[in-house]
Amino acid sequence: MSDPCSGVWLEGQVTEYARVYPVYQRYGEVLAGILGAAARTHAPLSIIQTRAKKVPSFAEKCLRKCSKYVMPAHQLTDLCGARLIARTASEVRAVSRFLESHLDIDWENSDDVSERLSWSEFGYRSIHYVVSLRRTDDLLPVDDDLYGFECQSPECPGFGTFHPFKAEIQVRTLAEHAWADFAHDITYKGAFQLPAQWLREIALMAADLEDVDRTVERIEEGLRTYAASYGSYMEPEELIAEIQTLETVLSFDPDNAHLAWRIGKLAMTAGDWDRAVAVMDRFVDPHHPDLALQPLLRDLGVSLRKSGDVARGRRYLEAAVDLDPTDSDAIASLAGSWRGDDDARAHGLYRRAFEVDPTDYYPLLNYVDGEIERTGATGILEILAPMASQAMARCRAHVDVGINIPWSLSSLAKFHLLLGDPYAALEWYALAIRAGTSVYAVPTLERTRVAASQIRGHDWCDRFLQVAGAARFGDEAARSGVAALATAGAPPIEPPVLIVVGSTDPRLAEQTDGYRRVIAEAVAGCRGTVISGGTRQGVCGLVGEAAAASEGRVRAIGYLPADLPADAEPDDRYDELRTTAGEGFSPLDPLQNWIDLVASGVDPSEVVVLGLGGGQIAAAEYRIALALGARVGIVEGSGREASRLLADPRWNDAGGPVPLPADPHTVRAFVSSPSPSLGSADREALARELHRAYREEIAATQADDPARLPWETLADDLKQSNLDQVDDIVAKLGEIGCRVVPSIEGASGFAFTDEEVDRLGEMEHGRWAAERLRAGWRWGPARDPAARRSPYLVAWAQVPDEIREYDRQFVRRIPALLASVGLGIVRAG
């Protein structure tokens, strides 16, 4: 054997390496294919580099390492090298798991270099694998001679045994590569020792780059979660349209797994499990699920389970967990697949999931549910309270940036419920229901019912979720549950329905009494059912008073707890008083009226809620109504929870509460929907005439107003606005003892008194204001049609007289408008 480091020895090693050099070149091509397969799924924008060590470079390394290796041509592990440079640390981890599942790893010589750094050090970070090809892996076709060789030279360590060809693979982020490409080469491969000040600068740069990696990963994770859940904000029609659009895009990019996952996630949001399976299934090889995009594999597993293929769904979820053992969502989804089949295994998996990530609220809540269901007690809540606080913080962070909606909202609600704040729970549940698009969006409380008596407000939230499932999402099971909870023996409630909510606090009696006329007009404008609290105190008493004055035009129903407080007096002016199971006043009372409404077949769109102040129960009532889809009007300035709701940005969108001036006629117009009393032909003819007169009035000014179009091309909602105004005209005339009849001799000479003109003008202002407010207009100091602002959305008494004159002029034109279509006005009696 030649002496190591001698010229003869070096020449022999170089000659031997030159012989096998083409093998290492082909080896590099195979590694490029394996890394490419990893990148396509886990790091599509990564950079892949491969090389076989050049012969001169090999010769230099031989000389530098001659004292360590006897036969470096067969002992060095980096004669073939490959590198994958990913964007983020999460991609590095995913690629690393892929390589570990498809290659044989020499763990003794492999290294995660970052783990060498102490807590106070910053520097070179990268994962180095020493690998060899695995014969049992069929990811790529591989020539037999690339697996290794049997060394025949006596100088070869392990003479006569099989030696696998080894290679080194580096996996790093862009930031890690920036360091390695610059500072590492200077400090590690440099020919001189750097001064301390430059070493410090380089260490600071390493620290900055490490922080960049962490920041990028955090933002990427947030954006990925947001993108996967953004469909939760869409209406069902928008969701379907977006899915169809993306499916068209996918047809032009059929190999885009990330796009397929995005479509699948939207289909899952819509509860269309079959569609989710159809779009994602072809991106998973059933024989090699580990090659799939891990989030897609996980969500396909969930969708398969939901669509009925539990066994395959479970298998894919297991593969998703194997691909990323840190994915608590995958572990929790796998746990869900065992519920009902093996509850103990499911419970253990939920525990494993939250142990992997204690701030992940989904597995934590499911683990808590399982413990409560298993023990029938709530002791686990005290033990897990610190973790629950962390998970709630994560919920709030997700809510703030719109991630995982509505599940982050419903999870926050449940945490509040379990930790003893049921009023906050109702509010968060209301937000979740309002944001949801299917019954799957807001989980029920079925698993914790066994301990309902130990959790304050559990029955409130449970009933609310059942009502929402029935009324908003049309769930049959929820409808059956609601029917069972309806007031026994009570007659069905007839729409339209007005619910009046507000303060009953005797300390606020004087303020509440100031709304007597507002409530009286609201009830007078109702032609169906009026619902309120059923006592003689506060707003409820004013409703009873107004209902009695209606002389049977409305049916008033009050809801009272069976255990009525001593200072509360039932109001016998209501037509019916229904009792609830509550001990004292609670959200059970308004929830029972919604249970009865839904059981009666009343759609929430047929319900109007009028709010005036109020406390915690009123706050719950407002939000329950908004979540279910009722129209909610809040009298501005009425204080307490009414004012808080109007100021809450989470509710102030297109479907939010409408701020109403404390103007009786505006409130009446908002809550009422006058029934057509003219024949359809007369009604349309008068609506056309109203529109013609309006077009003439604005012809010279508002040229771009869509309401200028001829009747035949007018938008349906604008036609309806004219028809509604016709109905309102007839109703207003009835209020002053007049009616509309076919024209008779002398009818065209009808004229209103000045007092009638002023009274009808006030009513017309209320109608106009209510219509504007329902359309999204709000008060502003100056008129701004683009921003939908007007200074005249106030009570009649606050409207300048010159503006009031517009309403009076309209009233004076009513006889002529009717006459133009063959109708007239006569006084009753």
**Neighbour-count burial for 45-74, b at 16+ CB within 10 Å, e otherwise:** ebebebbbbeeeebbebbeeebeebebbbb
- 3-class SS at 444? coil
User: Nearest 5°: phi and psi at 502?
Assistant: 175, -170
- Low-confidence stretches of the chain (pLDDT beneath 70): 1-2, 112-125, 151-161, 183-195, 198-200, 202, 222-234, 699-705, 744-748, 829
Q: Which two tokens stand for residue 824?
A: 């007239």
Handedness of CA 424, 430, 435, 438 (dihedral sign): positive
Query: Residue 113 burial (CB < 10 Å; 0-12/13-18/19+)?
Result: middle
Q: Which two tokens stand for residue 53?
A: 């060590």
The answer to whether the beta carbons of residues 385 and 355 sit under 8 Å apart is: no
Q: HEC profile for 85-119?
A: EECCHHHHHHHHHHHHHHEEECCCCCEEHHHHCCC
The answer to whether the beta carbons of residues 289 and 263 sit under 8 Å apart is: no
Where does CATH 3.40.50.450 sit in the chain? 488-671
Maximal C-alpha separation, the chain: 134
Phi and psi based region of residue 788 (left: phi greater than 0; alpha: psi -120 to 50; beta: remaining): left
> 680-827 has which CATH code?
1.10.490
Tokens 């009818």 found at: 747
Fill in the amino acid letter for 119: W
Q: Show Cβ contacts of residue 477 under 8 Å, excluding neighbours closer than 6 positions.
A: 469
Fill in the amino acid letter for 555: R
Could you tell me how many residues make up the chain? 829
The answer to whether the beta carbons of residues 236 and 270 sit under 8 Å apart is: yes
CA-to-CA distance for 104 and 137, rounded, in angstroms?
10
Q: CATH number for the 7-202 domain, one of 3.10.310.30, 3.10.580.20, 3.10.620.30, 3.30.460.10?
A: 3.30.460.10
Strand blocks (E) in 134-237 = 148-150, 162-164, 167-173
CA-to-CA distance for 619 and 609, rounded, in angstroms?
12
Work out whether strand 47-52 and strand 80-86 pair parallel, antiparallel, or are unpaired: antiparallel
pLDDT for position 676: 82
Q: Which two tokens stand for residue 576?
A: 């019916």
Q: What is the DSSP letter of 608?
A: E
Where does CATH 3.30.460.10 sit in the chain? 7-202
pLDDT for position 462: 97
Query: Residue 22 burial (CB < 10 Å; 0-12/13-18/19+)?
Result: exposed
Number of H helices, E strands in the chain: 31, 19
Strand blocks (E) in 736-790 = 738-742, 778-779, 789-790
The helix (H) or strand (E) run that includes residue 698 is: helix 680-698
Alpha-helical (H) ranges within 307-406 are 310-323, 328-338, 343-356, 361-375, 379-400
CA-to-CA distance for 756 and 825, rounded, in angstroms?
13
Q: Which of 387, 295, 241, 348 is nearest to 90 (CA)?
A: 295
Beta bridge partners of 474: none
Q: Which of 117, 120, 124, 41 is nearest to 86 (CA)?
A: 41
CA-to-CA distance for 773 and 790, rounded, in angstroms?
10
Neighbouring C-alpha atoms within 13 Å toward the C-beta of 407? 21
Q: Is the omega angle on the peptide bond into residue 325 within 30 degrees of 0, that is, cis?
A: no
Query: Residue 27 burial (CB < 10 Å; 0-12/13-18/19+)?
Result: buried
| Other Cβ atoms closer than 10 A to 757 | 18
pLDDT for position 60: 84
Topology given in CATH for the domain delimited by 488-671 = Rossmann fold (3.40.50)
User: Nearest 5°: phi and psi at 86?
Assistant: -100, 170
Q: Which of 426, 425, 465 is nearest to 442 (CA)?
A: 465
Query: Residue 750 burial (CB < 10 Å; 0-12/13-18/19+)?
Result: middle
